[in-house]
Structure 1
Amino acid sequence: MRTTTSFAFPSKSVTAVSKTVMALGLTAVLATGCSNSGAPGSATPTAPHSSPAPPSASSPPAATQSPGTASASPDAGPNLSAAPPTSAAPADTASQQLSRLSLDQRVGQLFMVAAKATGADPGTMTALTTYHTGNVYLSGRSKAGSEATAKVVASLTGTVSPGTTGNLPLFVGTDQEGGNVQVLSGPGFTTIPAATAQAGLGGTRLRSEAAVWGKELRSAGVNVNLAPVLDTVASPEFAPSNGPIGRFQRQYGYSPGTVSELGNAFALGMADAGVAPVVKHFPGLGRVVPNTDVSKDVRDKETTRTDPALAPFRAAIKNGTRWVMLSNAYYDKIDPATIAPFSPVITSMLREDLAFDGIIVSDDLCSAAQLEPWGSADRALNFFGAGGTMMVCADPSRIPAMHQAVVDKAQSDPAFMRKIDDAVLTILRVKAASAL
């Protein structure tokens, strides 16, 4: 959804090409559902959790009760946890759930696979049933409305069983930012304006409107919104050249303060409705030119580990958000040799610098052009090895190879197994605190 088109040439032919490239970029965004959304933790910054002994990949699972849930209160105040429980769950609930999952099921919890919003294809259903995938997101576009979307969601959540996910419910996400990035429309769904227009509402009204949009998602069975964008675009003049964000009016402003106020108002509104917001794309895509969905070697040459542009993410975490999505770019002043989802340095920025203990979710790692140098197995191993929690995959056909690679590595490497268990525990804890 980002492009590298130059805006210095006034000729009609170049303008036509620019429009074509822009359309292709937006198509890629909606297909992947990530960099446009993208697009969900591992261990907390304290000592790693002591994991149960690794189970056999083929060990039969025991039936597991779904986590206890509670409805979100619209008056919950500045907390981004989509649905805080009314009473504290036992501290060992997630650990007990983990112990009842086979290794195959544990690894399945680490993935969020794409499902066409108009109806899942066989590849998605195979990922959910055969490879125990524990999370799904609606991608593409659907104009069918809320009732039809609810039926699609029901076909996905209907795969939950003792044998697939150990009876653990699915996180069901989509990309409902507004403007060019709105997967679901039709009866029952508001046509949401782009972030640049949302900004004109002001924080209080935007939170209220976002709660309405969130309730629409919730009524269709969606419990995670891969939004809002908290990237700070450098300036209005740079915005048209900023392929992933500014070109599509996805930014809430041009200063960290403005983005923090308005982007987090959107996030709070979603949480008020019982939909978990996913803030993105850490540590920021507001300074890049090409789009990682359609271009390779995309680099941010300015952002630092203590950059002011991190402020919106810091505020979201302080508010209680449980999901942060990484970008797919390189960051020359942070970890120049490693793209963000494979960088332990960037993971440590969240875990240590910002004290985030929720779900670190990738942008799409299955279809984005930025990932072309790596095979399916390495993409998964690098992401989870760096401390990622949940991997978004726009191409269900890659799930089998990725799942098997993680299972094999976990069986042979105790340190990697501990990372997997820590990631699964984070996901289970967030699920337990959400009304799924």
Structure 2
Amino acid sequence: MVTPARRRSGGRSAVRRTAVGLATTLLATCACTGPAAGEDAHRAPEARTGTPAGRAAPQKTATAAATCADTVYAGMTTAQRVGQLFMGGVAANAPSATDLRTLRTYHVGSVMLTGRSSAGTTATRKIVDNIRKQADTVGGRQVGMIVSTDQEGGQVQVLNGPGFSVIPAALTQGTWSTTTLRSRATTWAKQLKAAGLDLDLAPVADVVPAGLGTRNAPIGRYHREFGYTPAVVTSHSGAFAAGFAAAGVMTTFKHFPGLGQVIGNTDTTANVVDSVTTTSSASLTPFRSGIAAGAPFVMISSAKYTKIDSAHLAVFSPTVINKLLRTQFGFKGVVISDDIGQAVAVRAYTPAQRAVGFLSAGGDMILTVKPSTVPAMAQAVQSRMATDAAFRAKVAASVHRVLTAKANAGRLSCG
């Protein structure tokens, strides 16, 4: 999802740290990645101890979260498990009753607020609280939803109005010191938390070369990049994520393995190809750094990367997801797709093929801003599970990652 006009975009998991620990790691990472001259990112980050007023309590340990996920998983029906693999889009200002009914019927476990709202934090919180009421119950306890949105800044800011800051574009954020960005990102995250959200589908970790600039339709055209070099994007995407972690809000590094080298926008264009990026390109550094620091979610691009896997779009590529992201980069969290509900890049595939293809490639959470595609997708996943043991195992692993992310976010209770 990379079209600001539609307020969508490109992406917590089985993280191994508390929220405070994750923030500290991210802070340390972005402090040593070589930011642009004149920045103060080389300062040692302030020590963070205790649980200051207004900050979420530390998250559960990895073991406790995983154990809780196991308990909830064991009590679920197959349909409920499959539902955890989806994030469905609903209008941020006034969710459609039809869309909500579809998500409820298919046990969809996560929601993305889409479009543009100027309602403010208080009104948004009421909307989110109402959405949460339709979450599934297992063993007498509600399996809480992950609620997300695109709150990058600039032309990609879904939630506005009283209580929400006007966030500048990432290209402007990239001119600030990392200390300043961390501080402001914490403020923005607290605003999302006040509105009831758990996850921001940001930061953009794509590196757009200066020579390409605004000719890069998905990122550069809207100034969504933090800068034009891997060093600046690494330091500032890390600072953004660290600020959010400090406030107890999850983030998503996107759009792996990067949309900086393309011309077309996968939301509105078919056959978007990157013929430059390799598995060792410097443009992957922001992702590698974010993952090393504990990134909870990574979003997969829907472009094709001919020097990595010329046979598949990244979103359907085992080479991109399993070999590069999971194995080479060591990512243990939730792999979320870019929108595969209405993006033009995937229109050659049926909704059923999109869902099964993404999960087969190693993905965990299917993002569709078009809830009407969920029935066909969910049914296809269940059908494949019935006949394919290897696919069933992949689904089980993905559901566990999603449930563990929920437990870490405080959305899963096991008593």
TM-score (ref. length: structure 2) = 0.87
| Aligned match of 2:280 | 306
Q: 1:387 to 1:337 in 2, by over 3 A?
A: same
Match of 1:286 among 260, 263, 272: 260
Q: Does the CA contact (< 8 Å) of 1:173 and 1:226 recur in 2? A: yes
1:306 Cα deviation after fit:
1.3
- Indicate the residue corresponding to 1:426 in structure 2: 401
**Residue pair 2:26, 2:239 contacting (<8 A) in 1 also:** no
Choose from 225, 235, 241 the match for 1:251: 225
Letter of the aligned partner of 1:143 in structure 2? S
Structure 2 contact 155–222 (Cα < 8 Å) conserved: yes
2:142 is paired with a residue of what secondary structure? coil
Partner of residue 241, structure 1: 215
Q: How does 1:13-412 map to 2 (within 5 A)?
A: 25-28=3-6, 30=7, 33-34=8-9, 38-39=10-11, 72-73=19-20, 76-79=23-26, 84-85=58-59, 87=61, 89=64, 92-162=67-137, 167-235=142-210, 237-347=211-321, 348-412=323-387
Q: Secondary structure at the match of 1:113?
A: strand
Q: Which ranges of 4 or more aligned residues in structure 1 deviate by more than 3 Å?
A: 39-42, 70-76, 163-166
AA at the equivalent of 1:332: T
Contact 2:12–2:250 (CA<8 Å) still a contact in 1? no
Q: How many Å separate the matches in 2 of 1:358 and 1:285?
A: 21
- SS of alignment partner, residue 311 of structure 2: coil
Q: Alpha-carbon deviations, 1:47-99, whole Å to 9, x = none?
A: xxxxxxxxxxxxxxxxxxxxxxx98449951249x975255517533222211
Does the CA-based 8 Å contact 1:194-1:250 persist in structure 2? yes
Assess if the C-alpha contact under 8 Å between 1:145 and 1:185 holds in 2: yes
Q: Is this contact kept in 2: 1:40–1:389, CA < 8 A? A: no
CA deviations 1:82-117 (Å, max 9, x no partner) are 975255517533222211110000000000000100
The answer to whether the 8 A contact 1:39-1:175 is kept is no
CA apart distance, 1:400: 0.7
Contact 2:302 2:313 in 1 (8 A): yes
Secondary structure, counterpart of 1:278 in structure 2: strand
- 1:134-183 per-residue CA deviation (whole Å, 9 max, x = no partner) reads 00010000011111100110111011242799721100000000000000
| 1:392 alignment partner, SS class | strand
Following TM superposition, by how much is the alpha carbon of 1:433 offset from its aligned partner in structure 2, in angstroms?
Answer: 1.3
Q: TM-score, normalised by structure 1?
A: 0.83
Task: Give 1:123 shift.
Answer: 3.2
- 8 Å contact from structure 2 (residues 384, 391) kept in 1: yes
- Determine the structure 2 residue equivalent to 1:58: none
How big is each residue's C-alpha offset from its partner over 1:310-345, in whole Å with a ceiling of 9 and x where there is no partner? Answer: 100011011111100011100010111200110000
Displacement of 1:361 in angstroms is 0.4
Question: 1:201-253 deviations in whole A, cap 9, x for unaligned?
Answer: 21111000000000000000011000000000011x31110000011000111
The change in CA–CA distance for 1:181 and 1:200 in structure 2 (over 3 A counts) is: same
Deviation at 1:432, TM superposition (A): 1.2
What residue ranges of structure 2 are gaps of 5+ in the alignment?
Answer: 28-55
Alpha-carbon distance between aligned partners in 2 of 1:146 and 1:182, rounded to the nearest angstrom: 13
Deviation at 1:122, TM superposition (A): 2.4
Q: CA deviation at 1:305?
A: 1.0
Q: State the one-letter code of the partner of 2:220.
A: G
Return the alpha-carbon distance in structure 2 between the equivalents of residues 378 and 161 of structure 1.
26
Q: Is 222-231 or 157-166 further displaced after alignment?
A: 157-166
CA displacement at 1:358 relative to structure 2: 0.4
How many matched pairs?
A: 380
Q: CA deviation at 1:434?
A: 1.4
Would you say the 8 A contact 2:22–2:245 is kept in 1?
no
Change (3 A) 1:278 1:233: same
Cα pair 2:22 2:294 within 8 Å, conserved: no
Contact 2:149 2:158 in 1 (8 A): yes
Identity %: 41
Query: What CA distance in whole angstroms lies between the structure 1 residues aligned with 2:351 and 2:279?
Result: 29
Q: 1 CA distance for matches of 2:140 and 2:350?
A: 26
d(CA) in 2 for partners of 1:143 and 1:378?
Answer: 36
Is 2:12–2:405's contact at 8 Å kept on the other side of the alignment?
A: no
Seen in structure 2, the aligned counterparts of structure 1 residues 185 and 426 have a Cα distance that, compared at 3 Å, is same
RMSD over aligned Cα atoms: 2.2
Provide the C-alpha distance between the structure 2 equivalents of 1:79 and 1:434, rounded to a whole number of angstroms.
17
Q: Secondary structure at the match of 2:112?
A: strand
Quote the Cα distance in structure 2 between the aligned partners of 1:121 and 1:336.
39
